[in-house]
Structure 1
Amino acid sequence: MATAAAKGPASYFPSIEKKYGRPIAEWKEIIRSSPLSRHMELVNWLKAEHGLGHGHANALVAHTLAEAAEAGS
């Protein structure tokens, strides 16, 4: 049985890992350890401090914050 293609922010994950050389779990930990909490603050921080492109940073932040929201539910 074929695996369904990732949708939404997760669809960016393979290219993020390939381009930046870190696993997604490591990026999520970096985001969670940041003192910032707002979506665009985190996106801009990843772009400035880690050299990520806007789409990749946005996907990582969206997915990480969504996980945190689900865990808090």
Structure 2
Amino acid sequence: MTDAPKGSAYFPAIEARYGKPIAHWQELLQAHRAEQPEQKFMQQVAWLKSEHGLGHGHATALVSATPAG
């Protein structure tokens, strides 16, 4: 059995809709945070939406469930 990421109930829908595992999105977001440490929560949400085409709810779920660093 694989270790499913703990977090949002949105995670299965995010994986199904965008075709990538949650770990992919979390790694991408952590790398973005390292490059843009001054960005606030909603700026990170906006980045996922504009650069990667995520919906608002999905982006919000990922930002809130992704640990820093």
Q: State the TM-score, normalizing by the size of structure 1.
A: 0.74
Match of 2:43 in 1: 41
How much does 1:47 deviate? 0.3
The 3-state SS of whatever aligns with 1:46 is helix
Distance 1:29 1:62 in 2: 14
Could you say what the CA RMSD is over the residues aligned between the two structures, in angstroms?
Answer: 1.7
Paired position in structure 2 for 1:31: 29
Instruction: Give SS of 2:8's match.
Output: helix
Deviation at 1:38, TM superposition (A): 1.6
Structure number with larger C-alpha Rg: 1
Q: Secondary structure at the match of 1:22?
A: coil
Percent of matched pairs sharing the same residue:
52
After TM superposition, where is structure 1 displaced by more than 3 Å over at least 4 residues in a row?
Answer: none
What's 1:56 paired with?
58
Residue 14 of structure 1 corresponds to: 12
Gaps of 5+ in 1: 1-5
Give the TM-score, by structure 2 length.
Answer: 0.78
Matched position secondary structure for 2:20:
coil
